[in-house]
C-alpha cells in the first residue's frame, strides 16, 4: 500500500493547492493521501486567515483522505523545525511517499545541498553561528554559509521548506 504524505498550511487554500494534491497523487499513484497541516497559527506564528476546520474540509474535498494537525510547537517555528515535526509525524504513521512543491522544481538541488551540509557540518554550523552573531537572520546566515561551502543559495519560501524536508528525511 502506498501512502502519500503532504505538508500544508492552506492559508488560504487556492488553485495551486488543488494542483499540488492532484499532481502528487498522479506522480505517486498512492492508495491514500495524508496531509499534515498547521492549525490556528501558521509558520512564524501568524494567525491563520481561515480556521483549521474549513481548511481541512477543503483538503478532503479536493482529494486528501486524512488531515493531521501539526502541533503548535512545530507549526510556529523556522523551516527546519516545521519540517522536523511534519516529517516525524508522517514517518510515524507509515507514509511511504512525500511530495512537495518548490520554486526550483529540482529535487537533486535539495539532495546536493543537504549532502554538502552533512559532509561539511562543522564548518556549516560555525559559519551560520558567526553570521547570526553579526546580526543576520537565520535563513540569511544559512544562505551565506551555503554560498561559501557550495556556491549555492536557497532564497524562496518553498525552496527553503523543501530543503528542510530533504535534510530531515
Quick: pLDDT tens for 106-146.
Answer: 899 999 999 999 999 999 999 999 999 999 988 889 889 99
- Cell 492549525 locates to 39
What are the CA-CA distances from residue 117 to residues 16, 82, 121, 124, 126 (Å)? 31, 18, 5, 6, 12
Mean pLDDT over residues 54-58, rounded? Answer: 97
User: What is the bridge-based pairing of β-strands 97-98 and 66-69?
Assistant: unpaired
Q: Closest by alpha carbon to 67, among 147, 10, 149? A: 10
Q: What is the pTM of this model?
A: 0.89
Rounded CA gap, 80 and 54, in Å? 27
Beta bridge partners of 8: 37
Amino acid at each position: 500500500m502506498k501512502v502519500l504524505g503532504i505538508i500544508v498550511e492552506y492559508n488560504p487554500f487556492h488553485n495551486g493547492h488543488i494542483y499540488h494534491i492532484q499532481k502528487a497523487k498522479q506522480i505517486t499513484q498512492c492508495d491514500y493521501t495524508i496531509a499534515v497541516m498547521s492549525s490556528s497559527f501558521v509558520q512564524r506564528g501568524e494567525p491563520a486567515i481561515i480556521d483549521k476546520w474549513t481548511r481541512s474540509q477543503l483538503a478532503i474535498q479536493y482529494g486528501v483522505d486524512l488531515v493531521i494537525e501539526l502541533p503548535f510547537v512545530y507549526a510556529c517555528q523556522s523551516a527546519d523545525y516545521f519540517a522536523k515535526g511534519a516529517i516525524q509525524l508522517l514517518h510515524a504513521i507509515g507514509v511511504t511517499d512525500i511530495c512537495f512543491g518548490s520554486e526550483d522544481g529540482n529535487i537533486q538541488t535539495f539532495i546536493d545541498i543537504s549532502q554538502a551540509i552533512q559532509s561539511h557540518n562543522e564548518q556549516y554550523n560555525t559559519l551560520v553561528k558567526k553570521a547570526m552573531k553579526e546580526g543576520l537572520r537565520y535563513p540569511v546566515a544559512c544562505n551565506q554559509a551555503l554560498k561559501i561551502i557550495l556556491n549555492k543559495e536557497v532564497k524562496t519560501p518553498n525552496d527553503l521548506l523543501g530543503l528542510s524536508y530533504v535534510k530531515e528525511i
